[in-house]
């Protein structure tokens, strides 16, 4: 477990560096297309540095705000607070901030930069559809993410993936908006410059690479969090029953987005697990292993 925590801390650094490099590549691509590489790379470096700092200190707030999470009142959500307090005593963790999201789909996620600055958000659907033992299993899963420092990596990815997607979208839009304003001479130069074609290709590829990096962050860690949760509760059937209910429920989590999909306990968006000719391609972007595999693994414990 301690090796896993150390590995997650190292991966957090690699994640920051990786996304910063992608941002620089986007800057180079914009410069190649628009004909001003020095300016574009400088701007990309500034944005990469700024977003890395913001991601570390404020990405949990961003994730909670994007998900429309509200603080869980201790009186109204007494059962939730009691369960988390008991699990924190059992796991030796400080109690995280608790939030509730008004969404009928049963789901939950943890966020923050370390156990002392962490939060757990659950949907109203999760509180309504799970009994006490099942809810305890889900909360133990989220606390495992906190204990294993998964939350730092996952939370950093929220703002960094979103930044890359936003910058590439703005860059492509600027190309079209400025298309009629540049001179014919510059048009001929950009058209004859092979770097312009490479830059345009990079603008298209960069968000896809960022999404695949985001997906790889979560898949293995979800399985590890399941196992860790059972170590905390010492009752695997509770989490198994919860995952079976999540598997049977087809409600889409409307509070989730592509940027936060990897944080939830189950794949929150529809269409990602579609089968067919492109099933193999879709799996590259799956942020979670199939629930059936996770359930089968827990049954072997």
The answer to whether the beta carbons of residues 85 and 98 sit under 8 Å apart is: no
pLDDT at 240: 97
Q: Kindly tell me if the per-residue pLDDT of 141 is higher than 90.
A: yes
Which H or E run contains 114? strand 108-114
- Which one, of 73, 75, 158, lies nearest residue 109 by Cα? 158
Burial of 105: CB neighbours in 10 Å, binned 0-12, 13-18, 19+: buried
pTM of the model: 0.76
Choose the weakest-confidence range: 4-8, 16-20, 184-188, 225-229. Answer: 184-188
The span from the CA of 122 to the CA of 84, in Å, is: 12
pLDDT at 57: 84
pLDDT at residue 262 in the model: 78
Catalytic choice (134, 136, 142, 222): 142
Is the Cβ–Cβ distance between 139 and 99 less than 8 Å? no
Once rounded to an integer, what is the mean pLDDT over residues 51-75? 87
CA nearest to 72, candidates 96, 94, 98: 98
| pLDDT confidence tier of residue 23, bands split at 50, 70 and 90 | confident
Does residue 134 have an active-site annotation?
no
CA-CA distances (angstroms) from residue 72 to 10, 114, 120, 144, 220?
Answer: 33, 20, 10, 20, 30
Banded model confidence at residue 60, pLDDT cuts 50, 70, 90: confident
- For the chain, how long is the longest CA-to-CA vector? 71
Flag whether pLDDT at 278 surpasses 50: no
* Number of domains within the chain: 1
Q: Which residue range(s) make up the domain with 78? A: 2-299
> Pairing state of beta strands 69-71 and 97-101?
antiparallel
Collapsed DSSP state (helix, strand, coil) of residue 192:
helix
pLDDT (tens digit per residue) in 178-235: 554 444 444 444 444 555 566 666 666 766 666 666 666 666 788 889 999 999 999 9
**Percent of the chain at pLDDT exceeding 90:** 37
Average pLDDT, the chain: 78
Residue 150 — very low, low, confident or very high, per pLDDT cuts 50/70/90? Answer: confident
């Amino acid at each position: 477990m301690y090796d896993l925590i150390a590995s997650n801390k190292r991966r957090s650094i690699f994640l920051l560096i990786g996304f910063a490099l992608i941002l620089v590549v986007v800057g180079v691509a914009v410069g190649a297309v628009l004909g001003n590489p020095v300016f574009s790379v400088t701007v990309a470096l500034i944005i990469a540095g700024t977003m890395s700092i913001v991601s570390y200190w404020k990405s949990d707030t961003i994730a909670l705000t994007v998900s429309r999470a509200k603080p869980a009142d201790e009186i109204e959500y007494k059962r939730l607070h009691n369960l988390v307090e008991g699990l924190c005593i059992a796991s030796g963790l400080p109690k995280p901030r608790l939030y509730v999201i008004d969404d009928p789909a049963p789901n939950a996620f943890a966020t923050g930069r370390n156990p002392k600055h962490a939060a757990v958000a659950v949907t109203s659907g999760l509180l309504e559809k799970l009994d006490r033992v099942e809810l305890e299993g889900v909360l133990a899963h989220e606390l495992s993410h906190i204990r294993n420092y998964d939350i730092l990596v996952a939370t950093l990815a929220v703002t960094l993936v979103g930044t890359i997607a936003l910058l590439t979208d703005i860059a492509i839009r600027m190309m079209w908006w400025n298309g009629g304003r540049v001179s014919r001479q510059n048009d001929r130069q950009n058209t004859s410059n092979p770097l312009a074609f490479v830059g345009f290709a990079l603008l298209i590829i960069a968000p896809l690479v960022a999404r695949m990096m985001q997906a790889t962050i979560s898949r293995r860690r979800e399985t590890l969090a399941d196992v860790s949760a059972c170590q905390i509760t010492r009752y695997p059937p509770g989490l198994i029953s919860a995952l079976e209910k999540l598997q049977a429920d087809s409600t889409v989590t409307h509070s989730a987005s592509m940027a936060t999909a990897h944080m939830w306990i189950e794949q929150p968006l529809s269409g990602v697990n579609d089968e067919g000719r492109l099933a193999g391609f879709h799996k590259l972007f799956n942020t979670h292993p199939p629930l059936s595999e996770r359930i089968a693994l827990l049954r072997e414990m």
